[in-house]
Amino acid sequence: MAVTHTVPAASSARAAPVRTITRQDLRISLRDGWADFMTMRGDLIFLGLLYPLIGVVAATVTLGGTLLPLFFPIAAGISLLGPIVAIGFYELARRREDGLESDWSHFFDVRKRPSAEGIGVVAALLVTIFLLWVAAAAILYVGLWGIGAPESVGAFLTRLFTTPEGWGLIVVGNLVGLAFAALVLAVSVVSLPMLVDCEVDASTAIATSVAAFKANTGLMMRWGFIVAALLVAGSIPLFIGLAAVLPWLGYSTWHLYTRLVDRDAFPHCQD
């Protein structure tokens, strides 16, 4: 097990103390998350299918009309909402850690947690960030390509990959998307698991999450790339692989949270 050192959360006096971690902690989190998935998969598979369904709906809507230029931003941006979908998996991982019964019937028990209101606040914040990302993508498209939808999917792809403005949209769009993804990671990587685990408010959970991100920026970005790579792999084809990837990442994020936050030193996280 990697050696971790407690670091005061300088971003807020209300934040829980956080730790610095190593790459081994990332590997252990993924390993333990996979063990949880293999133990608690069963009927949870159908819950994982909710996420691919969102992706398929987004694809159908955007490819069928004038929103075609926003297909890629919407498909990629759905990952910004992944932490919301994973909340139920945090609850199951918490129950398993506490030696409680953990099956699909407990997936929605997060609504009974003391910090359920804070969970709603953070979820609303992530939805707002997603909408801002889509708006930013639309503004970028109009700024580089002008107003008007492409005549067809083929025409759109040809212009995207064979013209300077197309490559400009790809490069700038990815950079802007990376900034939004880093923001979501900093805000949610600890806050949502913490709200499931502890009796705290949203501001305390977010402050702790940002503090953990700042204390481990390089490794948190590495974690973000791991998550992105697994989501891309799970999205091919037709988002079906996400039925396994999403639960795995949900459980893994819970274990990462337990390594990032010193829960023993924070009374609000003690039963």
CB 40 within 8 A of CB 59: no
CB 124 within 8 A of CB 62: no
Residue 232: predicted pLDDT: 82
Q: Looking up tokens 């949880």, which residue turns up?
A: 36
Residue 54: predicted pLDDT: 65
Residue 233: predicted pLDDT: 84
Residue 13: predicted pLDDT: 45
Cα 136 from Cα 54, distance rounded (Å): 21
Residue type, 123: A
Residue 56: predicted pLDDT: 62
Q: Could you tell me the two tokens for 93? A: 């991982």
Cα 163 from Cα 140, distance rounded (Å): 16
Cα 32 from Cα 55, distance rounded (Å): 27
| Nearest alpha-carbon partner for 109 in 92, 126, 84 | 92
Q: Nearest 10 degrees: CA dihedral of 123, 124, 128, 131?
A: 70
> ∠ CA(180), CA(207), CA(107), 5° rounding?
75
Which ranges of the chain have pLDDT less than 70? Answer: 1-13, 41-66, 237-238, 270-271
Residue 218: predicted pLDDT: 95
Residue 33: predicted pLDDT: 93
Instruction: For the beta carbon of residue 25, count every other beta carbon within 10 angstroms.
Output: 23
Residue 68: predicted pLDDT: 74
Residue 195: predicted pLDDT: 95
pTM, 2 dp: 0.85
